[in-house]
Structure 1
């Protein structure tokens, strides 16, 4: 079998109603599958105001808003309409991109019908409670995740560091890599625009420290703010440039009154904003890959990041950027100060980062997941079942 023989049922908790790195990767992948002649059916919550048009056929699933985060929805059931659609579509593999209630039901449905399943890991859900004063729940969530992933034939992670963590957590006996690609037409050093910087209040001789991403607390906004406070106390000249939107924007603006907030950017505008930074600061520990880090690297911008899953697979400390112990405010400030005061070091790290980013083309990384699909289907045809506890 080649890709044209694939019939993929993809289940997602957020395929296109709120834009993020995970669902943009999924949409790119579905587009790639369709170009290879595969058939794809996507099952996900929908809204009347989606963030972007979906790739492929999208079937709406029952869902409710997440308490306190109403922009997100929890798909809670596999309705009879979805079951009828699945039966008519007749997939030969089920892809699960979120361990939500619908994902659990889809996994049970696949096992009942003897279909292989592949799960993609997009975020470290077990780390989220710590940002809301509920850290004691992390072992419980990790246990739920383990039960989910070990019922799948295989799981794929976006970075080797995340894959190794999943192995250490005993999430699966079959952990592969589905990394992320970069659009070099959008993200490249040529997008840097000093005129645009001046228009938003950043002078040529003032280093711009960038933040890119959804403005939610689990992105490390508290660590970012505390670090910037230290730079200000040290009287290090800089300007903070925040690119993104989200429910914590008001909190973030109050913490960083001198920062420039551009709101959500996409396409060429996003490429211009990233390339116009002098460094990216990414203190988050929740990412499994770090799309924004790769985008900055492709633009020749060095990154100061938390030494965590994802970033460790992209960055080489003191070569393409800096890797700092998570939450180490003083060490983050030291690294940013060095880049602010040393333009040569900044330039050398940016050039090395750009060279490293050239490895990630979208077609190459998406074919790796297609190859995983084909391997899992072949193993099932040969009678091989998932190496996991026999959970029904």
Structure 2
């Protein structure tokens, strides 16, 4: 028999995460897509996550499957609706001794993730990790910048103990590899282009925002929190409004800054959290997307805006650096240059003839970002690690062959 015809057995994968659908954030959406994609390919995936109100211990409902597990958790300060998982090493040791996964994938670096890493190492189960959030950068925005070196060291220590760390962009992968994290792989992000589609533009929604015929709807989508650099969004929009009195700013999302922003800026539209087709309609009904965040590892909202045919103004970092060619799908400026960001926003706001062209190019760029390819890259890393490929983690007790993973790009 031809070796290529030999069927490849499905993987048993344990995914440990502190956020998962129906929670609304980029990490939850990404993990949900990856899990769904692996299951569609026939792999046996168990999700282990903190228990939410109303959850049972098994079969947590929502996007979960009967094999999924929930563990004890506590509310995450400043993030209502999210919880961090408490350590569950003893329980995981019992369960994984009974039904051993081929590989453990660690999404988050909290207490639950650390305990899962410890259990996997104790049992000699290879583990991979995802680098989803720049928590060290977040500390600066919450008045704890003095903790940034310690947080960065904590993250490096965690990821050095896994066989592979998955990063969504080449730039982030290079940064992580430069910090001494072994086995860094690039596994990007995808977008549902059947959901996020310019065809969902809704004139009735625009009218509800106060945008008349020929008016300009400026969008901001994401968590209303300090790390999203919302003061620059407001500054850029004020510059737009000075030249375009018909412009309206629509902020989609929720967070700790919302109440204060609504009190200080009643002239703006605060749409709150939107999901599914409702969210897609909000994107497609905009004319211009502003995204000034500098804390992203990727920024899924950038890709969703592009798929919706909305030209974007962003700093040249994270997803924008890899998806937006300046002047083609939107405008990008050097990270941290606030004046340049505001000037780019004004320039695009005034370019009524050019925005549709950029919007079409944005849509074309997003069409190349299929989740199927992303899931395939993820699967390839998991399969290689489960087979013993990949660099040795920083731990003498974990056996494994040295080397590099064969599939996803290596830095």
Instruction: Give the TM-score taking structure 1 as reference length.
Output: 0.92
Rate the CA distance shift 1:133–1:30 in 2: closer, same or farther, 3 A: same
Q: 1:27 aligns with which of 21, 32, 44?
A: 32
Asked whether 1:137 is paired with 2:147, we answer: yes
1:69 aligns with 2:79: yes
Equivalences for 1:353-364 in 2 at 5 Å? 353-364=362-373
Residue 125 (structure 2) pairs with residue 120 (structure 1): no
Equivalent pair of 1:202/1:208 in contact (CA under 8 Å): yes
Which of 241, 245, 252 is matched with 1:243 structurally? 252
Q: Is the 8 A contact 1:215 1:249 kept in 2?
A: yes
1:386 aligns with 2:395: no
Corresponding residue of 1:330: 339
**Separation in 2, partners of 1:231, 1:329:** 14
* Cα root mean square deviation, aligned: 2.3
The reply to whether residue 103 of structure 1 matches residue 108 of structure 2 is no
Distance 1:5 1:230 in 2: 55
Instruction: Specify the alignment match of 2:298 in structure 1.
Output: 289
**Displacement of 1:329:** 2.7
SS of residue in 1 equivalent to 2:377: helix
Superposed, 1:116-195 pairs within 5 Å as 116-170=126-180, 172-195=181-204
Instruction: Give SS of 1:110's match.
Output: helix
**Is the Cα contact below 8 Å between 2:296 and 2:318 reproduced in 1?**
yes
- What secondary structure is seen at the aligned counterpart in 1 of 2:223? coil
Superposition deviation, residue 89 in structure 1: 2.5
Cα 1:70–1:237 shift into 2, 3 Å? closer
Moved more, 321-330 or 31-40: 321-330
Q: 2:350 matched to which residue of 1?
A: 341
Answer whether contact 2:206 2:217 (CA < 8 A) is retained: no
Describe the shift of the 1:200–1:70 C-alpha distance in structure 2 as closer, same or farther (beyond 3 A).
closer
Post-superposition shift, 1:385?
Answer: 5.0
Output the CA distance in 1 between the equivalents of 2:32 and 2:9: 18
Q: Which moved more, 1:274-283 or 1:236-245?
A: 236-245
Flag the 1:260–1:83 CA change in 2: closer, same or farther, 3 A.
same
Distance 1:52 1:268 in 2: 21
Residue number in structure 2 paired with 1:215: 224
Question: Shift of the alpha carbon at 1:13?
Answer: 1.2
Distance change (3 Å), C-alpha of 1:391 and 1:79: closer
Cα separation, 1, equivalents of 2:88 and 2:128: 18
> Given the superposition, is the C-alpha separation of residues 55 and 177 from structure 1 closer, same or farther in structure 2, using an over 3 Å criterion?
farther
The answer (yes or no) to whether the contact 1:17–1:47 under 8 Å persists in 2 is: no
Residues 2 and 377 of structure 1: CA distance in aligned 2, closer, same or farther (over 3 Å): farther
| Residues 62 and 79, structure 1, Cα contact 8 Å, conserved in 2 | no
Please list, as runs of the form range in 1=range in 2, the aligned pairs for 1:82-93 lying within 5 A after superposition.
Answer: 82-93=92-103
Question: Partners in 2 of 1:4 and 1:21 — Cα distance?
Answer: 31
Structure 2 CA distance for aligned equivalents of residues 130 and 269 of structure 1: 33
Worse overlay, 138-147 or 327-336: 327-336
1:236 and 1:340 in contact (8 A); partners too: no
Q: Tell me the alpha carbon deviations over residues 218-263 of structure 1, each in whole angstroms, 9 at most, x when there is no partner.
A: 1222221233233345566421011112232112223432111222
Q: 1:102/1:153 Cα in 2 relative to 1: closer, same or farther (>3 Å)?
A: same
Q: Secondary structure at the match of 2:68?
A: strand
Match of 1:7 in 2: 12
Secondary structure in 1 aligned to 2:387? helix
Change beyond 3 A, Cα 1:206–1:52: farther
- Structure 1 164/254 Cα, relative in aligned 2: closer, same or farther at 3 Å? farther
Which deviates the most, 361-370 or 230-239? 230-239
For 1:391 and 1:327, locate their aligned partners in 2 and report how far apart those are by CA, in whole Å: 44
Structure 1 stretches of 4+ with a deviation exceeding 6 A read none
The answer to whether residue 276 in structure 2 is matched with residue 267 in structure 1 is yes
Residue from 15, 18, 31 that aligns with 2:23: 18
Q: Which consecutive unaligned segments of at least 5 residues does structure 1 have?
A: none
TM-score, normalised relative to structure 2:
0.88
> What is the DSSP-based 3-state SS (H/G/I as helix, E as strand, rest coil) of the residue aligned with 1:343?
coil
1:162–1:310: 8 Å Cα contact kept in structure 2? no
CA–CA distance in 2 between the matches of 1:104 and 1:178? 22
